[in-house]
Amino acid sequence: MAWELMTEKWSGEVSTVTIGATKEEGGTRSHTLKIGGEKSLPCLFQEGNIPHEPKVAFEIWDIAPLDWPAELMLPYAETLRDPLEWANKCVRDYKAQGLCIRLQGAHPDFGDKSPEEEAKLIRKLLKEVSVPLIILGCGDDAKDNLLLPACSEAAKGERCLIGCAVQDNYKTIATSLLADGHNIIAESPIDINIAKQLNILISDMGLPLERIVMNPTIGALGYGLEYAYSIMERSRLAALSGDKTVASPFICFVAQESWRAKEAKNENSPEQGVIWEALTATALIQAGADLLIMRHPKAIQKVNQYIANLFGGK
Amino acid sequence: MNKYKVTFYPDNKTVEVAKDTTILSAALACGVYIKSDCAGDGVCGRCKVIVKKGEVLTQPTGLISVDEKKKHIYLACATTIHSDVEVEVPPESRMELHSGFKGIYAESEEIESKNPLSSDKIFKHSPLSTKLYLQLPVPSLNDNISDLDRLFRAIRKAQGLPVMQTGLSNIRQLGELLRDSDWKVTVTLGKRNDTVEIVLVEPGDTSNKNFGICFDIGTTTISGQLVDLNSKKILGTKATYNKQASFGSDVITRIIYAHQDEGMERLHSAVTQTLNQMINELTVENNINLNDVTCIVCTGNTTMIHLLLKLDPAYIRREPYIPTANFLPVLRASEAGIIINPRGLLSCVPGVSSYVGGDTTSGVLSSCLYKEKNLSILIDIGTNGEIALGNEDFLVACAASAGPAFEGSGVRSGMRASSGAIQKVKIDPKNFQVSCSTIADTKPRGICGSGYIDLIAAMLDAGVIDRSGKIKLENHKRVRISETGKEFVVVFKEEADAAEDIIINEADIENLKRAKAAIYSATAILVKHMNFELQDVKKIFIAGGFGTSLDIDSAIKIGLLPELDRKKFVFIGNSALSGARQMLLSAQATKAAEEIARKITYFELSVDPGYMDEYMAALFFPHTDLNRFKRQGR
């Protein structure tokens, strides 16, 4: 007897966000990263089209990180001191498709670099490498309001992804990204309502919903991953049911969380950190993550392999 | 034991207290009212004071910033006195300076109910107490029954009343009184549930002087109405803040406070003082002798009625939330400390449960919700918001703690709905010019609940605030940053009848947002719980003492009310007070109220797993789910 697979019919879809602009599009990137566009839950290829597989971008910093575990510093070694060399290593040696630069050095407690200095770095970085760029502020609201507009201006036309905008601090960032043609990261604290509200607030400023990427805030494996998972699942279900205000793709800061886990820092078992980062990433891919920000080349390799296995055979 | 002197400024009041007394207790002891929403638990941060001189000890708290510490700002409830001290109470922490308190005992404007079923007309006139003038036949050898029997006989003859009783004190004076008054007396007959009592015997004919007062005792506001029981005429209406507010802004903190030393005594005397002052004002203004006020009807939430009658409210708070009494027999007003005719009666509107009280019953009574053919809803917007859903076949109700913002309390420039209160606001989206109208068209003194609803809607429209309630307008003379955060000037003091500018700040907007979220989500959950859709509701009665009018469009724009056809909404003002008045004037209304209270099924929101989700989603203007407010959307 013939049988038919029960499928869910969804009325909505996740919006597609393009990061990076090629020459034809007015930028200087060698390629673009397209994320989102899903018409079904992750990997349910029969239920709806999943046009773009999840992407991984390498996280680099503008200053040498001091508290990274030795295992994580090892692959980058001396290049950690120079963001341009570090970027080059990621692209040249580890074949990074995208880079995510965190401007940690601008934080008042970590060097307090000026917005002009950081904008200069962004310009140099865009010349040095040709992959699409994600730019992160330092996390201090007041400083980010000066820093991010300066970087946005410096990267004008390159269609970067810049953030993070939060509920109490989104106006200045959204205004400048709107003017310079970038995409925005909207961060909410594992809260579907705030995620939605922030998307509405940003789009009320004139930045279209199609240029927003949501950072749902995650926890690492063993550190609240399941909370992030269920929030991501809930918002994705709402998006697929037709709620445009939560239909943005997800960006997940995987490395930042997973390398903080004490299991990841176990010096007797250096491989464990890599595994922790890869496992956190793969779980989030199943929750619907579209863009993963990771650090260790080996973990990234494993995750890319996993993505190829899952999405390659579709 | 050491005694220290504490002086409070700007009141310039001094009190002597024992060492280790908190500043808050010292303030209360000398009649300085400091705001305290948590009743001294050290968690609300509203009782900040400046210690100008002297030694104090304070508990560590996160509610005082480093800057504030430098300025010698302390929490009055967490700081104890260790020498003679001088304390300055800043305007933010004062209750009297709060513009709302200027409106004390002001006439409150009545809203005419537009409801065609206006229930005033459907009940037969038979007041809680009536006066009857009697000319008794003079006793003789042939007609030699006792004085009391003679009185009973005359009353039965006149009114055919069955069971009768009267107090010993009346009987004691009867012999002399009847003879001195030449057998012409007026008896006051009170209905005490199923029996009739001779409340009072007076010489001569005073039957044209019979008055009653009904009260709605709200957590934040108390309103009262003086009624001529013969003509049914309303002689005066008053509203004022409940003095209990200085012991906590919501019912839970008051219940907790009732269990502190003398807590119950203080709460009880605060409410009776408020009632007695209102009775005094109402009677003096209308030239009425206190003795001619023969009965009182009180409605209010269950906790308020418990505190009025000094019933222990402790079990209202504890699972499974049981009140001491919902249905109370008719009592003597003096037993509760209410000063009218010493033998006058007090009747309380029957309640439903711990959190749905007599105010809901009287609201359902006066709105005639219980007679509606179609599904209807009554939303009573107050500190304790009550929502009743139903029709002639069923009634279900729930309570939502909304806070006092819509009653003009706990918000910077808030005031009660009395003359001078801003109730309509327009903002020009180009130059942000504000135009507003006030109750009684006087110079603005503050903003009342309906004014806040209109103001937030106007600020959203003009782009002064974003949908989360943050002020986004910049570089304009009306926007400034004060110690309490960003604020928007509604009326500059030069154009107002106020000592300072009338403003709204982000904290106010946050309070109002929480209040509207509580009301909206309770409404949505109640409807959902009964397996209805909001669209199924055919009529929505909006009640509350927040203004003389309510702009339904504005209320929908901010997400306080669901987006439904405007024609479905009926604004009925203080429906609880109207219901109490009906009970004052008719025994039929009393019977109806008892039936309503028995019929209402109580729905406990806190046990519904969806409530918190609903509430969180409603913390946005108009709502996180824009699909529910399509016309307000983008």
- Select from A193, A124, A198 the least CA-distant residue to A163: A198
What percentage of residues in chain B have a pLDDT greater than 70?
A: 95
Containing B96, the helix (H) or strand (E) segment is none
User: Taking CB atoms and an 8 Å limit, are B624 and A200 in contact across chains?
Assistant: yes
Give the per-residue pLDDT at A221: 95
Please tell me whether residue B92 adopts helix, strand or coil conformation. Answer: helix
The runs of H, that is alpha helices, within chain A are 70-73, 83-92, 115-128, 141-154, 171-180, 192-204, 225-240, 254-258, 271-287, 297-312
Contact assessment for residue B384 and residue B355, using Cβ atoms and an 8 Å cutoff: yes
Give the per-residue pLDDT at A301: 97
Backbone phi, psi, residue B426, to 5°: -130, 140
Q: How many CA atoms lie within 13 A of B106 on its CB side?
A: 19
User: Taking CB atoms and an 8 Å limit, are A168 and B467 in contact across chains?
Assistant: no
Alpha-carbon gap: B296 to the closest alpha carbon of chain A (Å): 48
- DSSP secondary structure of B476-540: -TTEEEETTEEEEEEE-GGGSSSSS-EEEEHHHHHHHHHHHHHHHHHHHHHHHHTT--GGG--EE
- Distance CA(B407)–CA(B98), nearest Å, equals 13
User: Taking CB atoms and an 8 Å limit, are A243 and B617 in contact across chains?
Assistant: no
Contacting residues for B334 by C-beta, under 8 A, at least 6 apart: B340, B342, B343, B344
For chain A, domains (ranges, CATH) are 16-308 (3.20.20.20)
> Average pLDDT for residues A83-100, to the nearest whole number?
97
Residue A108: count other Cβ atoms within 10 Å of its Cβ.
10
Q: Is the pLDDT of residue B109 over 50?
A: no
From chain B, the residues in CB contact with A203 under 8 A are 634
Chain B interface disruption, residue of A204, A207, A230, A246, most B CBs within 10 A: A204
The helices-and-strands tally (H runs, E runs) of chain A is 10, 10
Give the per-residue pLDDT at B96: 46
pLDDT one-digit tens code per residue, A180-198: 999 999 999 999 999 999 9
Per the DSSP assignment, residues forming a β-bridge with A175 are none
- Distance CA(B571)–CA(B551), nearest Å, equals 9
Q: Is the pLDDT of residue A314 over 70?
A: no
Chain B interface disruption, residue of A171, A193, A198, most B CBs within 10 A: A193
User: Taking CB atoms and an 8 Å limit, are A243 and B625 in contact across chains?
Assistant: yes
- DSSP secondary structure of A205-248: TT--GGGEEEE-----TTTTHHHHHHHHHHHHHHHHTT-GGG-P
Q: Is the pLDDT of residue B226 over 50?
A: yes
pLDDT one-digit tens code per residue, B431-479: 999 999 998 889 999 999 999 999 999 999 999 999 999 999 989 999 9
pLDDT one-digit tens code per residue, B132-152: 999 999 999 999 999 999 999
Q: Is the pLDDT of residue B106 over 80?
A: no
Residue A80: count other Cβ atoms within 10 Å of its Cβ.
20
Contact assessment for residue A186 and residue A165, using Cβ atoms and an 8 Å cutoff: yes
Which residues in B173-196 are b (16+ Cβ under 10 Å) and which e?
ebeebbeebebebbbbbbbbeeeb
Contact assessment for residue B186 and residue B204, using Cβ atoms and an 8 Å cutoff: yes
pLDDT one-digit tens code per residue, B48-81: 899 998 888 888 887 787 788 888 889 998 899 9
From chain A, the residues in CB contact with B624 under 8 A are 193, 196-197, 200, 245
From chain A, the residues in CB contact with B617 under 8 A are 193
Instruction: List the single residue in B470, B472, B626 with the smallest CB-CB distance to A245.
Output: B626
Residue ranges of chain B whose CB lies within 8 Å of a chain A CB: 466-468, 470, 472, 616-617, 619-620, 624-627, 634
For the ranges A219-228, B165-174, B346-355, which has the lowest average pLDDT? B165-174
Q: Among all residues of chain A, which has the CA nearest to that of B506?
A: A168
> Average pLDDT for residues B100-122, to the nearest whole number?
45
CB contacts < 8 A, A to B, total 31
Instruction: List the single residue in B467, B624, B625 with the smallest CB-CB distance to A204.
Output: B467
Alpha-carbon gap: B262 to the closest alpha carbon of chain A (Å): 44
Give the per-residue pLDDT at B100: 35
Grade residue A1 by pLDDT with cuts at 50, 70 and 90.
low
- Distance CA(A131)–CA(B448), nearest Å, equals 58
Tokens 């219980």 belong to B370
Containing B50, the helix (H) or strand (E) segment is strand B48-53
From chain B, the residues in CB contact with A204 under 8 A are 466-467, 634
Give the per-residue pLDDT at B119: 54
- Select from A300, A292, A274, A293 the least CA-distant residue to A72: A274
- Fill in the DSSP letter of residue A10: P
The runs of H, that is alpha helices, within B318-438 are 358-367
- Distance CA(B495)–CA(B538), nearest Å, equals 43
User: Taking CB atoms and an 8 Å limit, are B468 and A167 in contact across chains?
Assistant: yes
Give the per-residue pLDDT at B59: 85
Tokens 């015997």 belong to B201
- Select from B538, B602, B600, B540 the least CA-distant residue to B575: B540
User: Taking CB atoms and an 8 Å limit, are B626 and A200 in contact across chains?
Assistant: yes
Whole-complex ipTM: 0.81
Q: Is the pLDDT of residue B28 over 80?
A: no
Give the per-residue pLDDT at B558: 96
Please tell me whether residue B77 adopts helix, strand or coil conformation. Answer: helix
Instruction: List the single residue in B466, B617, B624 with the smallest CB-CB distance to A204.
Output: B466
From chain A, the residues in CB contact with B620 under 8 A are 193, 197, 200
Q: How many CA atoms lie within 13 A of A29 on its CB side?
A: 25
Contacting residues for B166 by C-beta, under 8 A, at least 6 apart: B148, B197, B198, B199
Token duo for residue B373:
């053919």
- Distance CA(A134)–CA(A119), nearest Å, equals 14
Higher local confidence (pLDDT), A35 or B606: A35
Grade residue B107 by pLDDT with cuts at 50, 70 and 90.
very low
Contacting residues for B514 by C-beta, under 8 A, at least 6 apart: B402, B403, B405, B619
Grade residue B571 by pLDDT with cuts at 50, 70 and 90.
confident
> Average pLDDT for residues A2-15, to the nearest whole number?
88
- Distance CA(B469)–CA(B460), nearest Å, equals 8
Pick left, alpha or beta for residue B148 (phi over 0 → left; psi -120 to 50 → alpha; otherwise beta). Answer: alpha
- Fill in the DSSP letter of residue B286: T
- Select from B404, B464, B515, B436 the least CA-distant residue to B35: B404
Instruction: List the single residue in B617, B626, B634 with the smallest CB-CB distance to A193.
Output: B617
Give the per-residue pLDDT at B1: 64
Q: Among all residues of chain B, which has the CA nearest to that of A195?
A: B624
User: Taking CB atoms and an 8 Å limit, are A193 and B634 in contact across chains?
Assistant: no
- DSSP secondary structure of B15-43: EEEETT-BHHHHHHHTT--B--TTSSSS-
Residue B488: count other Cβ atoms within 10 Å of its Cβ.
23
What is the rounded average pLDDT for all residues in chain A? 95
Backbone phi, psi, residue B238, to 5°: -135, 155
For the ranges A96-105, A143-152, B387-396, B598-607, which has the lowest average pLDDT? B598-607
Token duo for residue A46:
């029969």
> Average pLDDT for residues B215-231, to the nearest whole number?
93
Chain A interface disruption, residue of B460, B461, B468, B612, most A CBs within 10 A: B468
From chain A, the residues in CB contact with B625 under 8 A are 196, 243
Q: Among all residues of chain A, which has the CA nearest to that of B634?
A: A204
User: Taking CB atoms and an 8 Å limit, are B468 and A196 in contact across chains?
Assistant: no
User: Taking CB atoms and an 8 Å limit, are B624 and A196 in contact across chains?
Assistant: yes
Q: Is the pLDDT of residue B104 over 80?
A: no
pLDDT one-digit tens code per residue, A207-245: 999 999 999 999 999 999 999 999 999 999 999 999 999
- Distance CA(B130)–CA(B134), nearest Å, equals 13
User: Taking CB atoms and an 8 Å limit, are A200 and B620 in contact across chains?
Assistant: yes
Q: What is each CA distance from B279 to B206, B223, B225, B341, in whole angstroms? A: 20, 11, 9, 11
Q: What is the CA radius of gyration of chain B?
A: 26
Residue B489: count other Cβ atoms within 10 Å of its Cβ.
18
The model's pTM is 0.82
From chain A, the residues in CB contact with B470 under 8 A are 168
User: Taking CB atoms and an 8 Å limit, are B467 and A203 in contact across chains?
Assistant: no
What percentage of residues in chain A have a pLDDT greater than 90?
A: 92
User: Taking CB atoms and an 8 Å limit, are A196 and B634 in contact across chains?
Assistant: no
For the ranges A91-100, A259-268, B244-253, B353-362, which has the lowest average pLDDT? B244-253
Token duo for residue A276:
């922790």
Q: Determine the residue type at B372.
A: E
Instruction: List the single residue in A197, A203, A245 with the smallest CB-CB distance to B468.
Output: A197
What is the rounded average pLDDT for all residues in chain B? 88
From chain B, the residues in CB contact with A200 under 8 A are 467, 620, 624, 626
Alpha-carbon gap: B32 to the closest alpha carbon of chain A (Å): 37
Q: Among all residues of chain B, which has the CA nearest to that of A199?
A: B624
Give the per-residue pLDDT at B101: 35
- Fill in the DSSP letter of residue B245: G
- Select from B302, B297, B327 the least CA-distant residue to B312: B302
- Distance CA(B241)–CA(B221), nearest Å, equals 4
Give the per-residue pLDDT at A258: 96
Grade residue B120 by pLDDT with cuts at 50, 70 and 90.
low
Q: Is the pLDDT of residue B277 over 70?
A: yes
> Average pLDDT for residues B466-494, to the nearest whole number?
92
- Distance CA(B593)–CA(B330), nearest Å, equals 14
Give the per-residue pLDDT at B261: 81
Residue A206: count other Cβ atoms within 10 Å of its Cβ.
10
- Select from B44, B26, B18 the least CA-distant residue to B403: B44
For chain B, domains (ranges, CATH) are 3-97 (3.10.20.30), 129-203 (3.10.20.880)
- Distance CA(B275)–CA(B96), nearest Å, equals 18
Which strand ranges, in their side-by-side order, compose the sheet holding B434-438?
Answer: B434-438, B421-427, B446-447
- Distance CA(A288)–CA(A214), nearest Å, equals 12
Q: How many CA atoms lie within 13 A of B384 on its CB side?
A: 29
Q: Is the pLDDT of residue B511 over 90?
A: yes
Q: Among all residues of chain B, which has the CA nearest to that of A197?
A: B624
From chain B, the residues in CB contact with A243 under 8 A are 625, 627
Q: Among all residues of chain A, which has the CA nearest to that of B621?
A: A197
Residue ranges of chain A whose CB lies within 8 Å of a chain B CB: 167-168, 171, 191, 193, 196-197, 200-201, 203-204, 243, 245
User: Taking CB atoms and an 8 Å limit, are B634 and A203 in contact across chains?
Assistant: yes
Backbone phi, psi, residue A17, to 5°: -115, 135
> Average pLDDT for residues A255-272, to the nearest whole number?
92
User: Taking CB atoms and an 8 Å limit, are A201 and B634 in contact across chains?
Assistant: no
